Each structure stands twice: as C-alpha cells, then as structure tokens.
Amino acid sequence: MDPAARLQAIIQAAESLGWQGQPSADEEWDLHLTAPDKLLLVRCVGAGVDLGPEGARRDVIHDAWRYLDLTASPPRGTVGVHLVSVEPHLAQAGDEASVRARMAAWRAAHSWPEPSVWVDAPSPMPRNGVGTAFPGLGLLARAAPS
C-alpha cells in the first residue's frame, strides 16, 4: 500500500512492455510513460478496501474516481490515464476460503468498469504479523477527461 512502491511497480510493468517511465515533477500527475510516438500522463490512487463488516459497505472505487476527477486535464498532445489500485485486506482473518468469499462478495457489490484486472494472491494468502490477510490486487483504468 506504499504509494512510492505502487508507482515503481507501474513503471517496471510499463518498461517490460517497451515504454520508458519516470515519476512526474508535476503535482497533478504521478508518472510520465513514453513510447517513441506517445506520451501518457498517469495519476494513480490506492483504494484500501477493508473487507470487515463496516468497510465492505463503502464504495472506495467510486470515492477514488471522484478524487481523480479533481486532477487537471492533461496538456494538449498528451493522453491522461487515471488508475485505481484496489488493495483489499481483512484484519483478524479466518481461513483462506472465508477471506476469498468476502472478497468475491465485495467485488460483486461494487462496479468494476473496463478495463480492469484482478489478481488473486497465491495460496497461502499473504498475512502480516498480526494476521491481516491480503487476498489480491486490482487495477482499474480510464482515460482522464481532456
């Protein structure tokens, strides 16, 4: 859930596809991704999803889109991309099957517009020292308004 690590992972993924990436000096945009004939500006927000009874009712994706709507339009000649990194967790998690069932229920209750991707955590599911489970990671994208 570390923002710097999230951005570094996006840069590494883009570079594996032949793009070049670097953090942006502009406060409105987080990354510049370039290919020979393209420039993408990326703004990324992490949406921490608490899968507990109270947190599961919140639509953090909707909240993230509203926050991203406050970003300035990309400069002429560039494409802006808004990314939401969906980072679910469940404190004092029980068995793995119940955590995955809670995640599936949360995803079914909240809209996941295209394009999006969800990656399940491997079994056994990662947990921190106090037993919080992390069932996977999602990424949603949309073009920024110009």
Structural domain containing residue 49:
3-143
Per-residue model confidence as pLDDT tens digits over 51-80? 998 888 888 999 999 999 999 999 988 999
Average pLDDT (89-102) is 92
Tell how far CA 72 is from the center of its chain.
Answer: 20
Is residue 83's pLDDT more than 70?
A: yes
Q: What is the pTM of this model?
A: 0.87
In terms of phi and psi (left: phi > 0; alpha: psi -120 to 50; beta: otherwise), the region of 92 is left
Domain count, the chain: 1
pLDDT category of residue 1 using cuts at 50, 70 and 90: low
Question: How many whole angstroms separate alpha carbon 64 and alpha carbon 142?
Answer: 12
